[in-house]
A and B are shown apart, each in its own frame.
Chain A
Amino acid sequence: MIKRYGIKQLSIFLENRKGRLLEVTEALKDASINIRALALAESAEFGILRLVVNNPEKAKSVLASHGFTVMEQEVLAVEVVDEPGGFYHVVKLLTDNDINVDYTYAFVGGETRAILLFKVSSESLEKAMSVLSNGGVTLVEPMFFYD
């Protein structure tokens, strides 16, 4: 299922200093790369910017050429109804099957639905996908994000 549903996420190491986020976004803009989903994790002195973009290969090489440290990993995305309990249902399925969520982020996609992205360990990614699929959750294919 990873092959079909794995979504390439880019993680970028950023020091907490002025203008750094601007430089990342500027590099992506100049390369006409569209950011489809993002999350920023932060500690006292550095942060990790996580992106799903329309063209991960190109984004990766553009960022690397600008001197950023970039890491590519696979995450999974699901589509839920945008109403109370939508997120709960997904988390419960993962928890009941002993799958630990490293982190998750979400965005509202359209009028009635929301897209949730989950990062789980690479060993449990396959299992997570089948657990969710069997549990009636709709997995989102990468084509939704990519061009």
Chain B
Amino acid sequence: MWNSIESAPREELEALQAKRLRDTVERVYHLVPFYRKKFDELGIKPAHVKSVKDLANLPLTTKQDLRDHYPFGLFTVPISSVIRIHSSSGTTGKPTVVGYTEHDMGVWKEVMARTMSMMDVGPGDVVHNAYGYGLFTGGLGFHYGAEEVGAAVVPSSGGFTKRQLLLMKDFGATVLCCTPSFALHMAEVAQEEGYDLKKDFKIRAGFFGAEPASEGLRQALRDAWGLVYIEAYGLSEIIGPGVAAGCPYGNLHVFEDHFIPEVIDSETGEVLPDGEQGELVFTTVTKQALPIIRYRTKDITVLHRQPCKCGRTVTIMESVKGRADDMLIVNGVNVFPSQVEHVLTKVEGITPNYVIVLDKKGVLDKLEVWVEVDDRTFADGIGALENLKAQLQNEMLNDLYINVRIKLVEPKTLERSMGKAKRIIDKREAEGLKS
């Protein structure tokens, strides 16, 4: 265990949370006009917040609020105090921006070190990090965590599967960090290339996250690589990966001395008791640049507050069961249908009618957008239509950060209905390793 706070008595933990919460509330009330206005509207003063229970009275924050204050409107520090900025694609055009002070980077390293310590990763371990490096928090989050515990990091980022396998084998990687579907893809490619996964590789632990994984997929990874499956949960708005991590007993522990979890009823906003399923909400209590009060993750889960066999006393969250909105996760990247719609409105002469089709290509996700060609889009010439396709694909890559395949279809072939059209067809099913 990296930090003894993870197994501290609940009273000690809650006292620490209360103190930090009070500091955070003071901070946002005095430094962020958005929060001050919301608090004032509800007649809440920072002094009213005494314990963690008082959280329930505070206003909720949404992704839309982040967008409305793009890029730095919710920061509590001047940009001169910020040492890192990350961003994820927004819901319609504008990205979501998060910032970190030096102190915040310390928090992030701390919680990622706790994550790595779930399998006692440390000096002597070679951590192969195939999460994407760049604006996403995944790659750099795991990178800093592995460095913090003193392991050797191989910052391979995504793609180039065959080269990754070569490096993993030759460098003697003991830990693999990536999305579960990419880990399965690597296992399949390794088999095709004639590797013996258990003989040629020494992977003992895998830190998997950024997308949901069925028990079947988890077991397939354990069987293929002979590793211990550790679940990693996080979101950039809160800090990135490191919000919660799975222990070897399979329980996902929330590092709640930094991020206080609640579960609410998505409709009413009412806080639900432990054991009941609802929308997960986090309040960050140690962050400086971008503290967030009661951020609605839209992830559906259940919380349990009971000690775990691993010794940890911090809250256990169940693996995310679904979404309270229409967000899709495509190879670990979050995609909103509204983003697709936004791209279509930017391109001249496209009908607003579209269907998103999600499927598997091997074990990886494949996203297709079907667009109707109508009298305005239809140019006489294959070249012009292929150009239109290419243009849409480029715009999608630019806005959504993923490769989207555009398929042009005949007009009026996409389903329309009186009310909502069915815009998403998800054919994906978690599959085991094909042999």
A residues with CB within 8 A of B: 11, 13-15, 20, 41-43, 45-46, 48, 50, 67-71, 73, 102-103, 119
Contacts and interface: CB of A to CB of B under 8 A. Distances in A.
A56 B248 CA distance: 73
A48 B381 contact: yes
B377 to A, nearest CB: 8
Given A11-B378, A69-B375, A69-B378, 14 more contacts: A15-B409, A42-B382, A43-B385, A45-B407, A45-B408, A46-B373, A46-B408, A48-B382, A50-B380, A69-B410, A70-B375, A71-B378, A73-B380, A102-B381
Contacts of B374: 69
A41 B381 CA distance: 8
A73 B375 CA distance: 13
Closest 10 A/B residue pairs (Cβ): A11-B380, A69-B378, A43-B382, A67-B412, A13-B378, A13-B373, A41-B382, A15-B410, A69-B411, A71-B380
B268 interface: no
Contact of A67 (B382, B408, B411): B411
Contacts of B379: 71
Contacts of B381: 41, 48, 102-103
B178 to A, nearest CB: 31
A50 B412 CA distance: 21
Interface string B373-400: 1110011111001100000000000000
Given A69-B373, A69-B375, A71-B375, A13 B410 contact: yes
A42 B381 CA distance: 10
Contacts of A102: 381
Is the contact region of chain A dominated by helix, strand, or loop, or is it mixed?
Answer: strand
Contacts, number: 48
A74 B45 CA distance: 74
User: Which of A13, A67, A68 is the most central at the interface, judged by chain B CB atoms within 10 Å of its CB?
Assistant: A13
B386 A43 contact: yes
29 contacts: A11-B378, A11-B380, A13-B385, A15-B408, A15-B410, A41-B381, A41-B382, A42-B382, A43-B382, A43-B385, A43-B386, A45-B407, A45-B408, A46-B385, A46-B408, A48-B380, A48-B381, A48-B382, A48-B385, A50-B380, A67-B410, A67-B412, A69-B374, A69-B378, A69-B410, A69-B411, A70-B375, A71-B379, A119-B380
B80 interface: no
Interface string B350-380: 0000000000000000000000011100111
B4 interface: no
B22 to A, nearest CB: 60
B413 interface: yes
A68 B409 CA distance: 11
A67 B375 CA distance: 11
A20 B410 CA distance: 10
Contacts of B411: 67, 69
A67 B374 CA distance: 10
A73 B380 CA distance: 8
Interface in B291-319: none
User: Which of A48, A50, A102 is the most central at the interface, judged by chain B CB atoms within 10 Å of its CB?
Assistant: A48
A73 B412 CA distance: 23
Interface string B401-430: 000000111111100000000000000000
B413 A15 contact: yes
Nearest to B373: A13
B411 to A, nearest CB: 5
Contacts of B386: 43
Contacts of A42: 382
Contact of B410 (A68, A71, A103): A68
A48 B383 CA distance: 11
A41 to B, nearest CB: 5
Nearest to B376: A69
Contacts of A103: 381
Given A69-B373, A71-B375, A14 B382 contact: no
